[in-house]
Chain A
Amino acid sequence: MNPKRRNRLLIVLFLVAGSGATLALVLVALNDNLNLFYPPDQVVGGEAPVNTPMRAGGMVLDGSVARADDGLGVTFVLTDYQGSEFTVAYSGILPDLFREGQGILVQGKLDADGLFQAREVLAKHDETYMPPELADIARGGGP
């Protein structure tokens, strides 16, 4: 094989190996980090898996926000106003737009007792914007 061809072959091999490895890694990473979204009726109805990272959401039920006496623990109830509601436990600072009656997304895991352990609480950024996940609930129906 002449040097030119050998070089070209090297480049091609490098490309194939590199992109193959990258693609494999990307797909693995993607698969590990997908978070399915569950509305309240699926969380309550047992369709949401236990101990799996996921997103859930709903409206914060009026009067349900309870702060711990010390530390930053807080619990609140998310509802779809259709009779399905579940309790979320979170430790930390709530976003500025977190209010009772607001649509909220929570990221975390559902534990065996049906309590949602949130790692992150996401509120809407401005009053007119509704996350697409919650739009269906706000309109008064499941997805």
Chain B
Amino acid sequence: MIPELGQLSLALAFCLCGFVAFFGLAGAALRRQRWLDALGTMVTGQFVFILLAYAALSQAFLSDDFSVAYVANNSNSLLPWYYKMSAVWGAHEGSFLLWTLIMAGWTLAVALRGEHLPAAFAGRVLGVMGLLNMGFLAFLLWTSNPFERLVPMTPGEGADLNPLLQDFGLIVHPPMLYMGYVGFSVAFAFAIAALLTGRLDTAWARWSRPWSNVAWAFLTLGIALGSWWAYYELGWGGWWFWDPVENASFMPWLAGTALVHSLAVTEKRGTFKSWTLLLAITTFSLSLLGAFIVRSGVLTSVHAFAVDPTRGLFILGFLVLTVGGSLALYAARATVIRSPARYTLWSRETALLVNNILLVISMALVLLGTLYPLAYEAFTGGDKISVGVPYFNAGFVPLMLALAVALGIAPVLQWKRTSAARLWRDLRWPLAISVAAGLVLPLLISGALAWQVVAALTFGVWVLVSHLWDLLFRARRGLGRVTLGYWGMLVAHLGFAVALFGISLTSVLSVEMDQRMSPGDRGTLGGMGVLFEGVGNRSGPNFVAQRGTFRVEDGDEVIFLYPEKRRYLARDSVMTEAAIDAGFFRDIYISLGEPLENGDWAVRLQLKPFVRWIWLGGLLMAFGGVLAVSDARYRRLRRSVPAGTTVADAA
């Protein structure tokens, strides 16, 4: 009964989305104030009904209702309750239900916090978002119903959740990622509304900027969590694979990063306007493209869901409609929007332009590498290729280093123009320090000068020092005058530098050894002694495991590590559970391969210096994004803006 109620709720939510779309867009066009006034209620209703559907599915999981096909395929009575809760988004149907729930949540947030927006403008924004969620719900109801029953052939036991997903990482990674993906629909809706009205001023940028920042922070967090999860749960110590599905989340992130910066120029200087709109459209389109890649199964990926052509076709159709429609609107209306451009070569505008160009090129690079196999197959009539990881690294690394160079100059630059004398005055010390650090630090860390490490450390320190230098200057004039917006920028940029350190040092200095070891064997790992003591048995709630014992001697310190080889009973699947000794400066990472003859084991021993810094950098970036949103000027504007006026530049 409850699953049917869930499905009914989804159908009702679908209808309500239709109402939101109609009354929002038509109400704004025909100036019917009463239609617009009713939007808040409809948006709330939409959210409540999807939440009910979501609760119904969760209830089916918690009560082991295996008559629901989705539950039977992704749960098991032995599964701990918290994994039953997170199993709701463990596969295609449920994860898309979560997607629509988050979409409804963002719509509700816009309705609640948007009271300062002119009613007609808010109506258009909500209307566009209603239209989008209508599409998502249609997809759910017609191609991926999570409430489908297995009656009368109800199985007595569920097939269990994929063991890889029985993990804390899965509990937090998808919701964060979807918050980001779907959050960019707000920026998209703002862009469409601006194109419909032909009105785009600094007030518009100030309205849409916090939304984009928050979505971006969530996406950053989601990607960092996903990378961390892959690192410890896949069992082999890789943290980024340039897999199509990772790229699917990374492309909107790159475009979104460009958007966040371009919005800053539009807000502060009233320029880059049509470019900002195009980026808003692009970012959300890439989110949809990501959904298409993940859910259609057209590309070889470790993450992809099981293949179903109708789903792929549906999303492709939706993608074409959304992207095509919005770009057509953009082509027709973008000329209405004028940007007065008055800035010189050495100005913050130029720096942000360079930032945007580099990020968009990086995005295009990833896009090309991701979709090339598809295009190749289509044009050659079925020949299949894959694009190797070196392609991505070869293009991406120089672009990010160039970005770091520009980023180090950014804090010193002023709007409009900056004199060469001032640049030299403010940058000569950071420059000297970063060159010195780039030469000395690698020797301290690794005792050698690998050019990749020298380059990455020089550029990383360059970003770090030039930002701190600038902070020092500002602090002299009083720290109280430093705005939260500035702190946000600072923290996010330092996060970039920290991630740069982590990525380069881990990539170049990691030690990885695959070995055959018998119990009692000794090995060495980067100067540490490793003793393989043997393998014992252990059983968990829904698995049995072979558990190895390793004694690692790091100087005087002795660390015991217990990697496992688990066999999950319901699916009879084998999983590697690595043992990690995590540290701020290095991780020791040991995983059991497979048992060989005579009690020997294939073993992978790894030493990963500075690997934590990658995710620490991601966290800092996300935190910076949130800090910037907390800036006082966004709170002030909620009270003070009458419709149609432009806010004076407060910063």
Contacts and interface: CB of A to CB of B under 8 A. Distances in A.
Interface of A: 4, 7, 10-11, 15, 18-19, 22, 25-26, 29-30, 32-37, 53, 55, 67, 69-72, 91-94, 96-97, 105, 107, 125-133, 135, 143
B368 interface: yes
B516 A35 contact: no
A132 B384 contact: yes
A72 B602 contact: yes
Interface string B351-385: 00100010001000100110010001000001111
Given A10-B345, A36-B384, A132-B384, A22 B361 contact: yes
Contacts of B185: none
30 contacts: A15-B357, A18-B357, A29-B390, A30-B372, A30-B387, A34-B376, A34-B387, A35-B387, A35-B388, A36-B385, A37-B383, A53-B388, A55-B385, A55-B386, A67-B597, A70-B516, A72-B593, A72-B602, A96-B575, A125-B302, A125-B304, A126-B573, A128-B306, A129-B297, A129-B304, A129-B305, A130-B307, A132-B297, A143-B382, A143-B384
A91 B593 CA distance: 12
B515 A96 contact: no
Contacts of A92: 514, 602
A67 B573 contact: no
A93 B386 contact: no
Interface in B478-500: none
Nearest to A124: B302
Ranked nearest first, the 8 interchain pairs of A and B with the lowest CB-CB distance are A93-B593, A33-B388, A37-B384, A33-B391, A29-B394, A125-B302, A128-B306, A131-B300
A92 B236 CA distance: 12
A72 B236 CA distance: 16
Interface of B: 162, 164, 235-236, 297-300, 302-307, 344-345, 350, 353, 357, 361, 365, 368-369, 372, 376, 382-391, 394-395, 398-399, 514-516, 571, 573-576, 593-594, 596-597, 602, 604
Contacts, number: 117
B445 to A, nearest CB: 28
B368 A26 contact: yes
A25 B392 CA distance: 11
Contacts of A131: 300
A71 B601 CA distance: 10
Nearest to B567: A96
A129 B162 CA distance: 12
B306 A94 contact: no
B144 to A, nearest CB: 15
Given A19-B361, A128-B306, A143-B383, 10 more contacts: A15-B357, A34-B385, A53-B388, A93-B594, A94-B593, A125-B303, A129-B305, A132-B297, A132-B299, A143-B384
* Interface SS, A side: mixed
Contacts of A105: 300
A32 B300 contact: no
Contacts of B516: 70-72
Contacts of B303: 125
Contacts of B368: 26, 30
A69 B518 CA distance: 13
A42 to B, nearest CB: 10
Nearest to B600: A70
Nearest to B345: A7
Contacts of A22: 361, 395, 399
A71 B514 CA distance: 9
Contacts of A127: 571, 573
Contact of A67 (B382, B386, B596): B596
Nearest to A53: B388
B385 A25 contact: no
Residue from A36, A96, A127 whose CB has the most chain B CB atoms within 10 Å: A96
A4 B347 CA distance: 13
A130 B242 CA distance: 19
A55 B604 CA distance: 24
Contacts of A91: 514
Nearest to B598: A69
A97 B305 CA distance: 16
A93 B164 CA distance: 18
Contacts of B302: 125
B307 A135 contact: yes
Contacts of B305: 129
Given A19-B361, A93-B514, A133 B391 contact: no
Contacts of A55: 384-386
Given A30-B372, A131-B300, A96 B391 contact: no
A11 B350 contact: yes
